[in-house]
Structure 1
């Protein structure tokens, strides 16, 4: 990120306990932003940070030279209004950077791997796209409500190459294509308010899920 300074900026990264979300949170912290991070696992055990926990990410941000990091335990399959209420209360309604990364697909993808879509659980769609496409949309609404009055901000959806090519299964691809469509349409409406809305499609990475699927 070079000499970019985000000093004084307020940011949120959802799903920041592992992988892409964690890496983005560390970079934001290194550049001086105050970083709120969300995830389902908060704590340490016997004084040791649990792998994939919010406290582990917060520790790594500080080790990387980051400043203020605020872990918030949050299940994005449920109402996440309290997350934005806390941001509003603690920052006078200010939010500069919002990263939509929370995604909960691991268990069902591993369980149903190798099956054609018509033989997979009917829960596949909801399990992939509730904490995914739907949650991204809901979070974008709340983030926009904070950014629009100030005429400033950026929202980033973490998408995937699966939006334009087959990857994992149809429900996954449809969800990611929806994320990109949502990004384009929301960006159109937010542009006049000086707010950017973009999709980030990372290249191949060694996530726990992809590594497990590759061993099939």
Structure 2
């Protein structure tokens, strides 16, 4: 059985107010990692624009209950200011309008998080490029890559007006891991590799202007959709280890949120420019924890335990 130590008392995300006066845009913040990032930035006092396609009056094709308004309310409740704006980041005109509004209202942008995804229903596990539905594969690539490019195109001129800005490209997998592993399918593999490369390329372009660009991956994320997939809630998530024992290494969306908040609050973050980072790696660097007080290190666990077909045991990994 996996090691499931009693939960420790939750540790604070970091000094409250350390991002007061800062403005962030979390693109793709309806649920999952995007919501966790937005809330943790809010917990440090930031004003956070949260975008997505699911609102209280109109759902995206996901047809799920989470909304950008709910995320904005959570940001405000955490201590920041949440502002929800309905945006399809695949439509340049909508993204341009978003950035114009943000600029008019705030006059600055300090943190840009590209977390747009929308591909869960478009990829087919283990399906070759000739077997995979072509329309679905191409749709996945557009949602996972073009949306990030469009958003950076319009948002970066505002962010670069001031030195010290931060750009975070959220993906699945570190550069080191993905370079040596086939990820799910041709289209999924390509999409996640492309986002890693985006951060590398952006680092070369924004670095000379005093900004920092990184790629960041959570570990095995206990998102709303993942919990639902296993038929569990955050309160009883460990029950899912009966089906997938390695789920014991999983983490909440708050964990990767705290990683972004720590980066945003670090005056020396430029040392990470161009790097591929994980939530577990940054937890060791900055000393934050997940909500239960643990520090899951999923990507080290995958290499040293799961990929070696060893029994699930998170001892020393969380």
Give ranges in structure 2 of 5+ residues lacking alignment: 1-12, 59-63, 231-239, 244-318
1:118-137 pair list within 5 angstroms: 118-137=130-149
Q: 1:198 aligns with which of 194, 214, 234?
A: 214
1:3 Cα deviation after fit: 1.6
Aligned partner of 2:97 in structure 1 is 82
Q: Residues 162 and 172 of structure 1 are in contact (CA less than 8 Å); yes or no, is this contact kept in structure 2?
A: no
Alpha-carbon distance between aligned partners in 1 of 2:126 and 2:155, rounded to the nearest angstrom: 37
Kindly indicate whether the alpha-carbon contact (under 8 Å) linking 2:24 and 2:46 is maintained by their aligned counterparts in 1: yes
1:79-99 CA-partner distances (Å, limit 9, x unpaired): 22111111111112x100010
Where does the alignment leave 5 or more consecutive residues of structure 1 unmatched?
Answer: none
| Residue 68 of structure 2: aligned partner | 54
**Does the CA-based 8 Å contact 2:26-2:49 persist in structure 1?**
yes
Residue 98 of structure 1 is aligned with which of 112, 117, 137? Answer: 112
1:25 Cα offset (Å): 0.4
**Counterparts of 2:184 and 2:71, CA distance in 1:** 27
Contact 1:162 1:177 (C-alpha < 8 Å) held by counterparts: no
Cα distance change on mapping 1:43 and 1:14 into 2, 3 Å: same
For residues 228 and 221 of structure 2, what CA distance do their matches in structure 1 show?
9
Bigger drift between 183-192 and 11-20 goes to: 183-192
Q: Does the residue aligned with 1:161 lie in a helix, a strand or coil?
A: coil
Contact map agreement 2:122 2:137 (CA 8 A) in 1: no
Say whether 1:38 aligns with 2:51. Answer: yes
Say which structure, 1 or 2, has more relative contact order (CA 8 Å, 6+ apart).
Answer: 2
- Judged with a 3 Å threshold, the aligned counterparts in structure 2 of structure 1 residues 96 and 66 are, in CA distance, closer, same or farther, namely same
1:107 aligns to 2:91 (yes or no) = no
The residue number in structure 1 matching 2:281 is: none
Aligned length: 207
Which TM-score applies when normalising by structure 1?
A: 0.86
TM-score by length of 2: 0.60
Deviation at residue 147 of structure 1 after TM alignment: 2.1
The structure that is strand-richer by fraction is 1
Q: Secondary structure at the match of 1:180?
A: helix
* Deviation digits for residues 136-182 of structure 1 (CA, Å, limit 9, x no counterpart): 12212222211223233111000111761222211111111111112
Given that 1:162 and 1:176 are in contact with CA atoms closer than 8 Å, whether structure 2 keeps it comes out as no
RMSD: 2.4
